[in-house]
Amino acid sequence: MPRDLATRLGCVKPRTVAVEILAELEELDRGQAVAIAPYLNDELVRAARERGLLVAAFEASAAIHECWKRHRTSLGDETGVLEVAPAPKLRYLAESGFRTTYENGVVLWSPVTGAHALWWGIADYHRRQGGTAGRLGFPVTDEQSAVQPPAVLQRFQDKQDYGHAVTEALGIRCGATAYWSPETGVHSTWGGIGEHYELLGGPSQRLGFPIEDEEAAGPSPQGTTGWRQQFQRGVILWSEETRGVAVLAAPEDAPASTPSIAAYYEKAGGVTGPLGFPVGPRHDAAMSPRATRGTLQRFQGRWRYGVEITDAWDGEIGGATVYRVWRHDAEPHAVSGAIGQCHERQGGTGGWLGFPLTDEIHVELGRQVWQLFEGGAVFWTGPRDTIVVRGEFAPAQVDDLIAVLGFPTHAEEPFGRGSVQFFELGVRTVLEGTARCWVGPNRDTR
């Protein structure tokens, strides 16, 4: 036993011989030498330090013991010996340290982080993640209260520190955090997702606690790959191209059935669906001519819009937008592709088309598509690009229009005191506010 060996070594006289034995033991079996370090008498410790033997082990042993005294109630009694804790494999120029295990946890020490205790759930989680050699590395704080007890958090090294904005706000250099709450258990955040989460305010703000660990995401329709992490009220996605972006669910106090952009996004397939990665946060959309207000969030889409559109997006580069009006039961709707470009060129929600009222509706096995907006319907077929039919329609009315006239073949043109528009199977006129359909021979051109 280490304690017995330390006692016998302490009885060796003269002291120089004991030191020589300790030096040889460190060379032949450093683990054994480290294990007995906490039990050596003060005289032998001073002599060993003068020879430069086990200096870090002696420092670690003292610091670990002091840490244990502060947290004895949580840690319980010692069940293991002082032993080497390996350096984090992913952290550049990381140093190894020491650890001692207890009934309910472990105390870890490194020259950079000092001694910190882990117990119960976070200790088990840290061990499953590979301990100090894993992604989290050494703890840089003790356990702290998170939001309100009994929820807790603990900061760790990770493979690199967060940026200055985060470490300045937290008041400590770290690159990962493990969170525990009764509802979610233990999960950690790190890297780009962790940094974005901290910038958004962590668990005290809208997203709440993480409910899953980070997982790979993608590829998106544009071939982008990255990472995603689910939280109580939303998800954060990260890629080299888009960086960290949150997609938020309904607020905590909203009914469980309340529609949200996050729920719509997941139902649409998330990253691998037609929307791809989000390219910017949710923000207010322009008020429509019908005084409708709402929010929007931009996504990659299947392909990027032209720069004449994205230049007005404040640095967000994508090809799809999800809109939701400010009504508690309003379902979100996505606008993308050729119809999305048409909508953007007409001024988006602030233009005469306003907010979308439906998603894209595919006809003829997807070869023809239409989508309804507040100010009219936008039709698309590959050969003709997009054509708009103005008017306030219900979805069933558009179905009826297509059943009678087919898809439009030309844009609306002035006609007397109104307008005329040609369709596959006839003509639609609007005179003094009254619309009429005139069915003629099947034709695609005038």
Q: How many CB atoms lie within 10 A of CB 184?
A: 17
pTM of the model: 0.91
Phi, psi of 87 (to 5 degrees): -70, 150
143 compared with 314, residue with greater pLDDT:
143
199, two tokens = 């910038």
User: What is the enclosing helix (H) or strand (E) of 166?
Assistant: helix 164-170
pLDDT band at residue 444, thresholds of 50, 70 and 90? Answer: very low
Residues 355 and 331: their CA atoms lie apart, in Å, by 12
User: Per residue in 26-62, pLDDT tens?
Assistant: 888 889 999 999 989 898 989 888 888 899 999 999 9
Query: Can you give the residue ranges of every domain in the chain?
Result: 357-446
pLDDT tens digits along 326-366? 988 899 999 999 999 999 999 999 999 999 999 999 987 66
CA 122, CA 102: separation in Å to the nearest integer? 14
Alpha carbon separation from 445 to 19, 46, 138 (Å, rounded): 102, 100, 72
> 108, 118 in Cβ contact below 8 A?
yes
How far is residue 385 CA from its own chain's centroid?
A: 36
| Percent of the chain predicted with pLDDT > 70 | 98
pLDDT digits (tens, 9 = 90+) for 161-209: 999 999 999 999 999 999 999 999 999 999 999 999 999 999 999 999 9
